[in-house]
A and B are shown apart, each in its own frame.
Chain A
């Protein structure tokens, strides 16, 4: 049984890598990939917590609760994946649109909103 702390540290590391990539890289598509990394870090946490707390969280709310572990964390991951899919679609659409108009996919060249 791997303790939950290990999962937490793994997720933090993955999140840190994603965050650093998001801040340092210039290519917009890479930025999007880094966002996916961060999302996945959070998903891992959700599932890991669900393993420990599933029984405590919603025992009463579920049928035959004695034997059934509540899947609430996993359900949330499913929704999170759905959101990620939507976000990826929209994000890539925006990137392609930008690329078509500006002939660039670099984040620091898309800065019309500066001072």
Chain B
């Protein structure tokens, strides 16, 4: 059974894809059952993924790589195969996508109940799952890029799911355009690689790069281009602006796409093409700095947000920055492990937030409060997710984040770039602060809700409990996970547990908790202190460092003005020329028309008249009598026979 599943593992993305078509074609008939179709398909994929994992954790199974290949096209005598490949990194991603995906889809069945677009929602969710699975399975740049774009597209339609709301439609557009900006980089990057290697396959590119260390500068450029794509998808600075706005979509979508899987695709891309980055220390340094800055600044913005989903969105950006930084400083396993654990606890946090929003009918944390007693399951699972996120031992996030910090520390010791480590460490404090702020405002303070919230139905709480379980336990896998990933990409791993870093990290987290407790717990410190003392700083944070405004001023508005100028030029100059040509044409046409009417038409009329006469003469042949037709037919055959007799003497 397991062997059969593994032998047919290439079917993994097929099931959600089929589910998408089934739902798309039969949404009227299926109605609410479309949820079952979607959940069932992702569940089948989950079974396949678990079978692969089972094979991988057998003795000697860890180094097995499963791959399938098909001929995609033949140009000249060159064959371009397209295939999928399951190594250990892919296995991890498969588990994340299918396991988190099934939890979120089950949750969605409760969350989206009663929405008019219910089947549409699940259809798109299936399409997204299929493309994401295709993305992690691809063994070549072409399929990877196709799925990469598909993922972006489904993200766009799901952000704009409530497209009647103008803000949602606008957010969808913004997300799509911003990620497209990044995708251009990725496209250019892999096309450059293709131009040199003549093959789409990642393995070929890897071999080529290893064999050509003399072209290091080119590889740096290509790596930065590919990383630019990852920046767009994973919402790193400076392309992070779309992710907070993407929270306009349904909350489970935010959980699945904009926290657990799709935004992690950028990190996955860097991990997948790590051979490229590993060949150039400069590119890795850029990755590390961008990640660290993102991790720090997004965390600071998170402190000033009032919308619970936006807090989580900035938290996601920040954590993605941690992953990137982890990859950048050489902590390959650490970055991927953080991606793995983050998918679970961030999905949990988003689903918890969704549960809260479902109960309170608002996103604004200032109008929540005191929900701990009314929604015990949601509360406890949210607390678990928070502990995992800020890295309290023994929750999952502690291990993964600690590994990243240890890698950064090690990097600082070896290469001197201590700023990365410091930024990440400071980020821990801010993360802890804004998460406890959210907990206080939402669950632990006095009730400020306009009505009486109640616990969500079981279909929503059970996925929360499952994810909370994983958030608690996954961290203990860190050693096994490191070995698991190590086989996939042997990078010298960081050394034994670094107690100093561990203590610093936990201390920062507790400090953040203490500050939050003083401000929001007992109210000992004035929460408007920052606004009173440093109004400019507070305003900067609240306006998200004015990035949106900067883009508006620097890119959007000049673009608009340029369009106006181009429009004016078009209207007056181009249109004038076109109109002049038009008048000339009209004059010429009058002359031609006269010639046409008298002479050309005369010839045609004559022809038509002759044809008409012929036709009225020959229509007598159509007697309408079947026998007559048969006679004509036989006579013709006889004629042909006789002609053949004369023409071909031998016949």
Contacts and interface: CB of A to CB of B under 8 A. Distances in A.
A26 B620 CA distance: 20
Contact of A114 (B623, B630, B631): B623
A114 B625 contact: yes
A24 B620 contact: no
A56 interface: no
A108 interface: yes
B634 A108 contact: no
B627 A31 contact: yes
A19 B630 CA distance: 9
B619 A115 contact: yes
A111 B620 CA distance: 13
Contacts of B626: 31, 107, 110
B619 to A, nearest CB: 4
B325 to A, nearest CB: 73
Given A115-B619, A115-B620, A19 B625 contact: no
Nearest to A115: B619
Contacts of B634: 19, 23
Given A107-B625, A108-B625, A23 B620 contact: no
Interface in A1-43: 19, 22-26, 31
B635 to A, nearest CB: 10
A107 B627 contact: yes
B627 A24 contact: yes
Most A C-beta atoms less than 10 A away, residue of B620, B622, B626, B634: B626
Contacts of A19: 630, 634
Contact of B622 (A23, A24, A31, A113): A113
Nearest to A22: B630
Interface range for B: 10 to 19
A111 B622 CA distance: 10
> Dominant SS at the B interface?
helix
Contacts of B650: none
B416 interface: no
Contacts of A114: 622-625
A55 to B, nearest CB: 28
Contacts of B624: 110-115
Most B C-beta atoms less than 10 A away, residue of A23, A24, A111: A23
B278 to A, nearest CB: 64
B38 to A, nearest CB: 49
A20 to B, nearest CB: 10
Interface in B595-651: 619-620, 622-627, 630-631, 634
B636 to A, nearest CB: 13
Interface string A89-115: 000000000000000000110111111
A37 to B, nearest CB: 14
A31 B631 CA distance: 13
B630 A23 contact: yes
A28 to B, nearest CB: 9
A13 B627 CA distance: 19
B627 A115 contact: no
A111 B619 contact: no
B622 A115 contact: yes
B630 to A, nearest CB: 6
Interface in B468-484: none
A113 to B, nearest CB: 4
Nearest to A109: B625
Contacts of A108: 625, 627
Given A114-B624, A114-B625, A23 B631 contact: yes
A109 to B, nearest CB: 9
A53 to B, nearest CB: 22
A110 B619 CA distance: 18
A113 B629 CA distance: 12
B190 to A, nearest CB: 55
B622 to A, nearest CB: 5
A88 to B, nearest CB: 16
A112 B622 CA distance: 10
B408 to A, nearest CB: 77
A31 B624 CA distance: 16
A19 to B, nearest CB: 6
A77 to B, nearest CB: 23
Contacts of B630: 19, 22-23
A107 B622 CA distance: 14
A26 B619 CA distance: 23
B623 A23 contact: no
A19 B637 CA distance: 13
A10 B631 CA distance: 22
Interface in B537-575: none
Given A115-B619, A115-B620, A22 B627 contact: yes
Most B C-beta atoms less than 10 A away, residue of A26, A110, A111, A112: A111
Nearest to B621: A115
A24 to B, nearest CB: 7
B625 A111 contact: yes
A50 to B, nearest CB: 25
Contacts of B631: 23
A112 B623 CA distance: 9
B87 to A, nearest CB: 52
23 contacts: A19-B630, A19-B634, A22-B627, A23-B627, A23-B630, A23-B631, A24-B627, A25-B627, A26-B627, A31-B626, A107-B625, A107-B626, A107-B627, A108-B625, A110-B626, A112-B624, A113-B622, A113-B624, A114-B622, A114-B623, A114-B625, A115-B622, A115-B623
The 5 closest A-B pairs by CB, nearest first: A114-B624, A111-B624, A115-B619, A113-B624, A23-B631
Given A19-B634, A107-B625, A111-B624, 20 more contacts: A22-B627, A22-B630, A23-B630, A23-B631, A25-B627, A26-B627, A31-B626, A31-B627, A107-B626, A107-B627, A110-B624, A111-B623, A111-B625, A112-B624, A114-B622, A114-B623, A114-B625, A115-B622, A115-B623, A115-B624
